[in-house]
Each structure stands twice: as structure tokens, then as C-alpha cells.
Amino acid sequence: MGKPAGLKVLAHWAFNALSTTRVVDLGVTWHSMQKGVGISTGEPSSKLAGMPNGQTERFSQQVLLPIMGLSEEARRGDDPPSLNHNSLISIQKLLDYDYTIQYLSQAKRR
């Protein structure tokens, strides 16, 4: 069973608060936060990932999505040094922690 209350918080936050600074991504398995968006956990990150420019990058620290309605584990992500334009919100990670994702047409969101 999904967590509809968490979905309501996520939908409101992800599509309104982050506006143009986020990409909701079905292909990534963890959240990657743009500089200054995530809440630092004080823990280093062990993530190493291929970037769109072909380079491999080591992520600097673990961060939390600033969505208080989600569990801490569902909010946990990483802070890659070169991610300057958008945060990547992992749909897969939210599903892994039993949250339900629902896509609505533009007309139904109003």
C-alpha cells in the first residue's frame, strides 16, 4: 500500500516549491540535489556516477530532500559538486519506500 498523505506533500512540494530547479526522473535510483537545495546530513557520500559530459564524478556529501512529510530514508540523497542547474528527484527511490506516484494531466492538476 502506498502512502497517500506523503504523495500529497510530495506533489505539492516537488512541482511547486522547486519549480524550475528540479527534474523528476524515472531512471535514477537516488536523489541528487542541486547546490543549496538539500539539507546536509554531515555525512560524506560514497556515490560515484557518470555525468552527461562523459566524466565520472564523486559526490561530496549526503543530503536530505527538504520534504518534511517523507520518511528520512526516502528523503536521503547526494550532493554532486557539478550539479548546478537542476535537482534530480528519483521516482524509483520514493517507490522503494512505499510511496505512491500518480501522474495527472495538466487539466486534472487544477
**Is residue 81 a part of any domain in this protein?**
yes
Q: Quick check: is 68 in a domain?
A: yes
pTM of the predicted model as reported, rounded to 2 decimal places: 0.66
Which is higher by pLDDT, 11 or 54? 54
Residue 108 lies in a domain: no
The pLDDT score that the predictor gives to residue 87 is 79
In a domain, 110, yes or no: no
Q: With respect to residue 13, please indicate whether it lies within any of the assigned structural domains.
A: yes
The alpha-helical segments, DSSP class H, found in the chain are 4-12, 72-75, 91-96, 106-109
Residues 45-67: tens digit of each pLDDT: 998 887 777 888 888 899 998 88
In a domain, residue 107? The reply is: no
Task: Tell me how many domains the chain contains.
Answer: 1
CB 37 within 8 A of CB 20: no
Domain assignment present for 17: yes
Question: Distance (Å, rounded) from C-alpha 10 to C-alpha 8?
Answer: 5
106 within domain boundaries: no
Per-residue pLDDT band for 6 (boundaries 50, 70, 90) equals very low
Least confident of 28-32, 53-57, 103-107: 103-107
Domain limits at 45? 4-99
